[in-house]
Amino acid sequence: MPGPSMADDLRLPFLAAEPWRVAVISPTGRYARNQVAGMLEAGTPLIAGVALGRGGSTLDGLPLYDRVADLPITPNIALIYTPAEGVREAIAECTAARIPTIMAAAEYVPVHDALPAAAAARAAGGWLIGPNTLGVFVPGKGLLGSIAPSFCSRGRLAVIVRSGTVALALARQLTLAGVGQRIVVHIGGDSVIGRNPHEYLQALGGDEATAAVLYCGEIGGDKEYVFAQAARGFAKPVIAMVVGRQAPTQKRMGHAGALIDGVRESAAAKLEALADAGCLIAKNLEDVVSIATRLGLD
């Protein structure tokens, strides 16, 4: 019988009081093994890895199983490190197991795979982070992916970012300025991702540990316009920044989600919509720190 849809009562499942139980899907590649090492160092509770044909063995201290269904303990978080062409099947396995938080690291997942995978995860009540994500860091709780813990500090500002590089830069500058973070999330840089910025905003509305939200968007697509609608009348202060103000039209900047196709998708137009919705507009990192300090978040 289907579980409750998170669309009915949006919450970030990885912020729940329940302890994390994290499984790593396809942990055997070089990139994934480096990620595993970093997460173990950060204290993330990894319980197992899933690698077809390697069941019964161990890797870097992790017991391995052939399939998600074989895990003796059901994880509440799954981190997927398959190549792009394997992401759809991996998400399907995790969705079938009713894992509430799923993260897919791979970049350039084919749209015809990403769309049904994201829809299936959503229909099952899951929260899919990515594809094409550095992951999440929750100060005081743990690391999912590769956001540097040393760049972050514990606080009350929830940081939601479309660009991985910018997520790292923001966390570092905020920490240096004494502005701690509730979470730092790179939501994913592909054109199709599991959960969009406005959903993170809505989910943080009921999070008592979040005093304000920082959203950093970018050129391309319409995610910032939907976010602006959600921000209108939001009960907590929302700081908004859009990178790519100098980007030319019809030129992809960085990844699949960053491409201006007309004036509406430019940084200037998006900033205007966000300002009209009541967001506090930051033009650069220095503005972000200044506004956060003015809000008493330092």
Helices (H), ranges, the chain: 30-41, 87-96, 111-123, 164-176, 197-204, 223-231, 267-276, 285-294
C-beta separation of 74 from 97 below 8 A? yes
Instruction: Give the number of other CB atoms < 10 A from CB of residue 167.
Output: 26
Catalytic residue at 198?
no
175 SS3 class: helix
Kindly list the strands in the beta sheet with 101-104, ordered across the sheet, starting from the edge strand earlier in the chain: 58-59, 62-65, 46-50, 22-25, 77-80, 101-104, 127-129
Strands (E), 18-138: 22-25, 46-50, 58-59, 62-65, 77-80, 101-104, 127-129, 135-138
| Catalytic member of 112, 186, 198, 255 | 255
List Cα–Cα distances, 95 to 65, 90, 200, 265, in angstroms. Answer: 17, 9, 20, 33
Active site residues: 255
